[in-house]
Amino acid sequence: MSNITVLVTGATGYIASHTIVELLNEGYEVIGIDNLVNSKKTVVSRITSLADKSLIFRNVDIRDYDELDRLFETYSINSVIHFAGYKAVGESMEKPMMYYSNNLKGSITLFEVMEKHGVKNLVFSSSCTVYGNEGESPVQESNSLCPTSPYGRTKLYVENALRDICAADNEWTVTALRYFNPIGAHDSGEIGEDPTGIPNNLLPFIAQVASGKREMLSIFGGDYNTPDGTCIRDYIHVSDIATGHIAALESITAKGFEAINLGTGKGYSVLEVVKTFEKVSGIKIAYKIVDRRPGDAEAVWADPTNAYKKLYWKAEHDLEKMCTDAWFWQIKNPNGYQSQFHKPVSSGVNTGSSMDVVNSPKNSQKARITA
């Protein structure tokens, strides 16, 4: 694949960083861009260490037409994987203009530059939020599209723009990947999810409770019509999401627009995730059941059949692996990417390294990170 150069937007983000590692391992040349608003440049050095291969990185905002134009003028870009965008549902409710400006305006600017330079192969990072909270699971691509947040609407609006672009110009080939709930981390523990402030997502919050950084997990709703009363979601390992993007990139042959779910096809409840994390970490997670959040769906999981048929892809990792890798990332990086860089090792066994989790009666609620 050494003759194929891929531009990755939002390159230092959670899913993009894992995808770039896979791209480099597969022999692609990668140009990564990010405005570093919600991520850190140190991610780049960790990516290159893991892949033992460098990428070209530029601090570029996708709303900057001139900078994007210079990139396409300078490098022979063949395809684009588009991750860049704000992604917090709650924040989008509070700051909708910020989301529309960045996610919509930025995407349209990118597509304009791509068209100018004749680069018409794109994998778009979409989301299961385009389906909204109605309908039955498993969720199929043919389900009605009714997002309930500005974030979800920006994803759908970009999808619709891409549908129209493909309809008007049959040289475009676009795959929109609607993935469900990415969790976990690279099994080296060197790249993972590094939320700013209080985590919005379940597993980083659990990991921070386990490490003593947070006191307690709040579970929203314990009276749903599910086996244990808590919500059910399709959690999928971030490394599986990454390989899904490679599969989509390599399947770009038929022209036009295609939307495909990436999920495991299995739902796990919030309490299942908590109990599995306790099993792999050996630490009891303090939690409390609080009121439901308005708008939360009871049970949502994917029908990934089209990913099997069209991309020859399926999720490989189970929930225990997702929790193991998330915990390994947490103990190696107690302060996220501000933590000291460590030589990559596997999370599959006790490494005997200086990063040990110590369990004792006095320390049942937290992990001790030894230097």
The tens digit of pLDDT for each residue in 77-88 reads 999 999 999 988
Q: Predicted confidence band at 218 (pLDDT cuts at 50, 70, 90)?
A: very high
Q: Is the pLDDT of residue 350 over 90?
A: no
Side-chain-side CA neighbours of 321 within 13 Å: the count stands at: 15
Q: How far apart are CA 296 and CA 293, in angstroms?
A: 6
Q: Predicted confidence band at 342 (pLDDT cuts at 50, 70, 90)?
A: low
Q: What percent of the chain has pLDDT over 70?
A: 90
Predicted pLDDT at 341: 55
Q: Are 283 and 217 in contact (CB under 8 A)?
A: no
Query: Which of the pair, 133 or 290, is modelled with greater confidence?
Result: 290
Annotated active-site residue in 14, 28, 151, 235: 151
Q: Is the pLDDT of residue 281 over 80?
A: yes
- 3-state secondary structure (DSSP) of residue 181: strand
CATH topology of domain 5-363: Rossmann fold (3.40.50)
Classify burial at 73, counting beta carbons within 10 Å of its beta carbon; exposed 0-12, middle 13-18, buried 19 or more: exposed
Cα–Cα distance list, 263 to 146, 175, 252, 305 (Å): 19, 15, 20, 10
Q: Are 43 and 66 in contact (CB under 8 A)?
A: no
**Pairing between strand 5-9 and 79-82?**
parallel
Which run of H or of E encompasses 160?
Answer: helix 150-168
| Per-state percent for the chain, helix, strand, coil, to nearest 5 | 40, 15, 45
Those residues whose C-beta lies under 8 Å from the C-beta of residue 85, and which sit 6 or more positions away, are: 10, 102, 103, 106, 107, 125, 154
Q: Is the pLDDT of residue 135 over 70?
A: yes
Predicted pLDDT at 363: 34
Q: How far apart are CA 300 and CA 193, in angstroms?
A: 22
Q: How far apart are CA 179 and CA 260, in angstroms?
A: 8
Predicted pLDDT at 213: 92
Over range 3-27, report the average pLDDT: 96
Over range 320-344, report the average pLDDT: 86
Q: Which of 4, 25, 2, 21 is nearest to 12 (CA)?
A: 21
52-61, 149-158, 170-179, 361-370: which range is least confident on average? Answer: 361-370
Predicted pLDDT at 197: 82
DSSP 233: E
Q: Are 245 and 123 in contact (CB under 8 A)?
A: yes
**Is 151 a known active-site residue?**
yes
Over range 62-77, report the average pLDDT: 97
Is the CA virtual torsion 301, 310, 185, 321 positive or negative?
A: positive
Structure tokens at 272: 């299942």
8-17, 77-86, 262-271, 329-338: which range is least confident on average? Answer: 329-338
Decide: pTM greater than 0.75: yes
Predicted pLDDT at 317: 97
Query: Which of the pair, 3 or 56, is modelled with greater confidence?
Result: 56
